[in-house]
Chain A
Amino acid sequence: MEALLEWWLTYQSAVAFIGVNALLALSVYATLSCGQLSLANAGFMAIGGYAGALLTLHTELPFALVLAAAAALPAVVAVPLGLPVLRLRGVFLAIATIGWGEVVRLALVNWDYTNGALGLVAIPQRAGPGVIYLCLALALFVFWRLRGSRAGQALEAIREDEPAARTLGIDTTAYKLAMFAFGAGLAGLAGGLEAHLTFMVAPSGYGFSRVVDMLVQAVVGGIAHFGGPVLGAAFLTLLPEALREVSRVTGMEPGPLRLLANGLVLLLVILFLPNGIVSLPQRVREWREERRAARALVG
């Protein structure tokens, strides 16, 4: 019992972080599910985090409302941003959204009211694994209802072939904008939760490397199914722990080793398992089918 408590105390923050990262990976998945590579969510996370922090530090609002605001504000901002930006295709959308993230970060660095680079400190810890996983469960519920529904099918169609979807009468702009805003809301929620988990927010936490982390977790986990990003978040958050042993054995510094592992995993996934780890069972099944068929042919 003692050991269990000790284990929980040691790893509870890791568990909480997996939850936050899962929300972020899902926010990237939201737009990837209709074929849009939007890298804007670090910027939205920053907005949510700062909004939540400011509300907690300067008002008496209950935590639930603070979180709601942290999710709502980025979603609202996403609409006027998304309208022009979502008209760009593929790579150009990615670039524009990277630019957006940088603009948010630079604005925060230069904003004296929030102490620029130092950010806001001494935020009371109002979030823990409980709240985080509750929010995650809600998000997953939404995705679950979406899947198989008419809206979900429309998104799938847009992802497969957008011009075709449009000719079929699907309002692609509305759907893409809705997912963009939804993703922004998820990222903002994650930002608000993280702010109340780690006592502080600062611009350095929302830079390009955060964007890359989110994207990698979503892709490695897999975008074939909404469970993928959660899997990816868990896998990549726990990877550094596992690597600690490897580092000791190989003698390679843990930092570069972690980067190398991230890069290799991403490369292997994108080359050989493009729909992510979550598609592994399906791929194994397919591979077994092929083997059986081939053997039937020969034997």
Chain B
Amino acid sequence: MQQVVNGLFLGSIYALFALGYTLVFGVLDILNLAHQAVFMLCAFTALALVGTLHLHTLVALPIAIVAAGLVGVLLERAAFRPLRGRSDSNISGLISSLAAATIFEALALAAWGPGQFRFPFGSVPDRRLQLGGAIVSEVQAVIIGISVAMMLALTWLLRRTRLGRHIRAVAESPLAARILGVNVDRVIAASFFISSALGGAAGVLFGLAFNDVSADMGRSVELKGLAVIILGGMGSMPGAVLAGYGLGIIEVFTVAKLGSSWRDGVSFAVLFLVLLLRPRGLLGQAATRLA
């Protein structure tokens, strides 16, 4: 039972991270490898707000998330928009995002150094709850709650608002959307804002959950994030959520039954199997093969 809680908790973070990843892919057909760098920068921002400016954690959270969103918009403008016309834009986009990720990591290292930082004692609640044989810490419960809330908010945004409709239209076909009068540039910028806000939120929650913020914290999540979006289906939001929780639970039970040496191997095995047998993943629709 405890392992189920562990899995749900890990899964929430994976799902939140993957949502941002897959949103950008759905809209622009580009794998944004800078996503994990935004994840990391947002965690540092929150740390700076709480640690240096002594803001309350719940106040720092939205500020940091909005900041992450703005970084995303900047990223799109500088690294992706100039590439839009090109024929190999998804490869050059990937490389461009890699460059941006490197730059972000360099800036974080220059500003904070290579160490590992924690949120000041007392800024993060410490209580534990018993839940039918399992122990859930208050932090974990709050994180699961915030993640689910953000996912629901995203769903509402995409289904019920005009922006959401426009985003879905651009994801279908940018050309058609433009003909229908949608301001494609603004929609793409908005998508990046949302995507980076989600990724940044995952970063802050991750930093709070494990009380560890460091310049390389994005790396391990980045590769897992890939497995999640492939499993869920590139471009599919519900797929990302489903796969995020799925992978979280699979990982946790792999550790419990087979031992931790197998854990990462299983994630990549899942990645491979999905790509070879059903590349569009559980719920995806993107064209993934050439033939």
Q: State which of A44-52, A98-106, A120-128 sits at the interface with chain B.
A: A98-106
Whether the Cβ atoms of A274 and B79 lie closer than 8 Å is: no
Q: Nearest-CB distance from A253 to chain B (Å)? A: 6
Complex contact A270–B99 (CB within 8 A): yes
Name the segment of A83-91, A146-154, A229-237, A287-295 touching the other chain.
A83-91
State whether the Cβ of B94 lies closer than 8 Å to any Cβ in chain A: yes
Q: How far is the CA of A236 from the CA of B8 in the complex (A)?
A: 43
User: Per-residue CB proximity of A232-264 to B under 8 Å, as 1/0?
Assistant: 000000000000000000001101111110111
Residue of B nearest to A90 (CB): B90
Residues of B within 8 A of A96 (CB): 271-272, 275
Q: Is the CB of A259 within 8 A of B268?
A: no
Q: Is B99 touching A259 in the complex (CB atoms < 8 A)?
A: no
B100 adjacent to A267 (CB under 8 Å): yes
| Minimum Cβ distance to chain A for residue B33 (Å) | 9
Contact A99/B290 with A90-B90, A94-B31, A257-B106 known, Cβ cut-off 8 Å: no
Complex CA–CA separation, A99 to B223 (angstroms): 8
Complex-state Cα separation, A99 to B229, whole angstroms: 13
CB contacts under 8 Å to A, within B20-72, are 25, 29-31
Residues of chain A within 8 A of B105, CB atoms compared = 259, 263
Contact of A103 with B268 at beta-carbon distance under 8 Å, contacts A90-B91, A94-B31 already known: yes
Is there contact, CB below 8 Å, between B95 and A98? no
Is B82 part of the contact surface with A, judged by Cβ < 8 Å?
yes
B267 to chain A, nearest CB (A): 9
| A89-B288, A99-B271 as given contacts; A263 in contact with B102, CB under 8 Å | yes
Among the listed A99, A216, A266, A271, which residue makes an inter-chain contact with B82, where contact means beta carbons less than 8 Å apart? A271
Which residues of A come within 8 Å of B, CB atoms? 35, 37, 84-85, 87-92, 94-96, 98-100, 102-103, 106-107, 110, 162-163, 208, 212, 215-216, 219, 252-253, 255-260, 262-264, 266-267, 270-271, 274
